[in-house]
Every structure is written in structure tokens, then in C-alpha cells.
């Protein structure tokens, strides 16, 4: 049987200030191919080129990747400010309805960083534009200097709900993760269950309550060193198993319905 197709949401980039391309990190495709066991397919973040119904039928699962542009605050009823940074309205228009459709269909997806925030907004939640400006919060942004290895280094602990979905999946109630984001959850969306937190109280892991499929999302970047990292590997393996189940017409696995 061929490997199930996993759509990886791409980001718009401009080469030499003039040539527009859709791009996706090699670490995303590697994690999908080598750990999740899927056939990675980059999805252009242009909704008029990839109609929703076609996407849902073409892919068995989706990865909502990180990206420099942020979800536009108009999507959660707030005015745009300088603190919100850059935007990609085409990606917003593609991903938010796609996430809602996947939740209702029970079709598996994994949200990462911006993708984590997209899931929250798609379900009616809101975001802080700049976490480090909040009292008592840490700076979660990517370190400005150093090698990629140093930028993706493990920087803080994430503590999970005792007996919750992520605790069961990881086999540990706390793990170490990287952190490379500026925004984060302000209010959780409808049915969003926050299941893991950084030491400063920032939401780091969540799922959609009572969803019939895999809806796990994380604020860190598990695609980095996914094959070797003891936190990343079980996450992508569980996602891959859920995608194969979907492709074969099976029900979602019980751990995704636990709370």
C-alpha cells in the first residue's frame, strides 16, 4: 500500500526581492517522511489555487507549520498593531477553514508554532501579539545569534496535565523543548484543551476536545531533529499512525479521546 499523503502547509517567500515562491522547511518534510511515515506534499498557501474540498480528498493528514507571518488579528476581532508583526492573509484564508473542516471530519492534523496559533484562532480563540511584554512572562523568541543548532536548542520545560493526552503520549509529565515564537494564546478557543505549559504559564500543548481525530498541536518546533529527539519522535509517530488509520478508513486511536 502506498504511503498516505500528508499535506504540509507552505509559506510565501520572495527570492531576490522579486520572485515569489512557496516554501517549506526540509525539517518538516523529513519529519513527515522519516518519522510519521507519510508522503510529504507541500501545499501552496493560496486558497484560490487549492480549493478546500480538493485538499481534503487529496491528503490523509496535514501539518500546519510554523512561519514568520502571524495570523491577522482581524481573524479574532482585534485591531492590527505594530506588535502583531507581518501577516499572510492568503494563508489565513486557507488554513482557518481547513482546520475547522478537519476537526469536524475527524481527519488528522498536527499544529506547530504558527500552526498551533492557527488552530486556536480557527476555534474562536485569541492571541497575545508579544508574550515577552506581559508581566512575568519569558522571552520565547528565537535567539538572534548562533548556529541553527543553538537556535533550536532545548530551552525550557513543558509540564503536561497529569494523566492527560500528552502525558500518556510522552510517557512523562514534563519534557524539555525548544522555543522560537513571539505570540501565544490569550484566550483558548471553543473546545480547545490546553494540556501543557511553559514555566511562565505560556500554553505549549493542546488538542480539540471531543474531536473524532488527531488534533494535537504544540507551540514549540518538534520537526527539528524529529527522528532522534525523544519528545518529537513519539509525537510524529502518533500523528503518522492516525494518518494511516484515516487512509485505511479506521477510527481514531483512543489516546486522542482521553482527557
Over residues 71-121, the pLDDT tens digits come to 999 999 998 887 777 889 999 999 999 999 999 999 999 999 999 999 999
Letter string b/e over residues 101-122, b meaning 16 or more CB atoms within 10 A of that residue's CB: ebbeebbbbbbbbbbbbbbbbb
Letter string b/e over residues 176-211, b meaning 16 or more CB atoms within 10 A of that residue's CB: ebbbbbbbbbbebbeebbbbbbbeeebbbbbbbeeb
- What whole-number distance in Å separates Cα of residue 214 and Cα of residue 246? 10
Position 256 confidence tier, pLDDT thresholds 50, 70, 90? very low
- What whole-number distance in Å separates Cα of residue 210 and Cα of residue 257? 6
- What whole-number distance in Å separates Cα of residue 259 and Cα of residue 242? 18
Model-level pTM?
0.94
Task: Answer yes or no: 84 catalytic.
Answer: no
* Beta sheet of 5-9, edge-to-edge order: 39-43, 5-9, 61-64, 109-112, 217-218, 203-208, 192-197, 156-160, 174-177
Task: Answer yes or no: 113 catalytic.
Answer: yes
Structural domains present in the chain: 5-257 (3.40.50.880)
DSSP 36: I
Average pLDDT (13-38) is 92
Query: Cell numbers of 42, please?
Result: 507541500
Looking at 59, 113, 118, 130, which residue is catalytic? 113
Q: Lowest mean pLDDT: which of 128-142, 181-195, 226-240? A: 128-142
Q: Determine phi and psi for 46, rounding to 5 degrees.
A: -135, 100
Position 252 confidence tier, pLDDT thresholds 50, 70, 90? low
Q: What is the DSSP string of 72-98?
A: PGGGGT----GGG--B-HHHHHHHHHH
pLDDT at 254 (0 to 100):
45
Question: What SS3 state is found at 51?
Answer: coil
Mean pLDDT, the chain, rounded, equals 92
Task: Answer yes or no: 72 catalytic.
Answer: no
Amino acid at each position: 500500500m502506498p504511503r498516505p499523503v500528508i499535506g504540509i502547509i507552505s509559506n510565501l517567500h520572495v527570492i531576490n526581492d522579486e520572485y515569489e515562491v512557496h516554501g517549506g522547511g526540509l525539517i518538516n518534510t523529513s519529519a513527515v517522511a522519516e518519522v510519521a511515515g507519510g508522503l510529504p506534499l507541500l501545499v501552496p498557501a493560496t486558497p484560490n489555487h487549492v480549493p478546500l474540498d480538493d485538499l481534503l480528498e487529496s491528503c490523509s493528514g496535514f501539518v500546519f507549520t510554523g512561519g514568520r507571518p502571524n495570523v491577522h488579528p482581524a481573524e479574532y476581532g482585534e485591531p492590527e498593531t505594530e506588535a502583531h508583526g507581518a501577516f499572510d492573509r492568503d494563508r489565513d484564508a486557507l488554513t482557518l477553514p481547513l482546520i475547522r473542516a478537519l476537526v469536524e471530519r475527524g481527519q488528522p492534523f498536527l499544529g506547530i508554532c504558527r500552526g498551533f496559533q492557527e488552530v486556536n484562532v480557527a476555534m474562536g480563540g485569541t492571541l497575545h501579539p508579544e508574550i515577552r511584554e506581559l508581566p512575568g512572562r519569558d522571552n520565547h523568541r528565537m535567539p538572534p545569534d548562533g548556529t541553527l543548532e543553538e537556535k533550536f536548542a532545548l530551552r525550557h520545560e513543558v509540564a503536561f496535565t497529569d494523566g492527560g493526552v500528552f502525558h500518556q503520549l510522552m510517557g512523562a509529565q514534563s519534557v524539555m523543548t525548544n522555543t522560537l515564537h513571539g505570540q501565544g494564546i490569550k484566550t483558548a478557543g471553543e473546545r480547545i484543551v490546553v494540556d501543557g505549559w511553559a514555566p511562565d504559564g505560556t500554553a505549549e500543548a493542546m488538542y480539540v476536545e471531543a474531536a473524532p481525530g488527531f488534533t494535537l498541536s504544540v507551540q514549540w518546533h518538534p520537526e527539528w531533529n524529529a527522528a532522534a529527539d525523544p519528545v518529537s519522535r513519539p509525537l510524529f509517530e502518533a500523528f503518522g499512525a492516525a494518518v494511516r488509520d484515516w487512509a485505511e478508513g479506521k477510527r481514531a486511536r483512543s489516546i486522542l479521546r482521553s482527557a
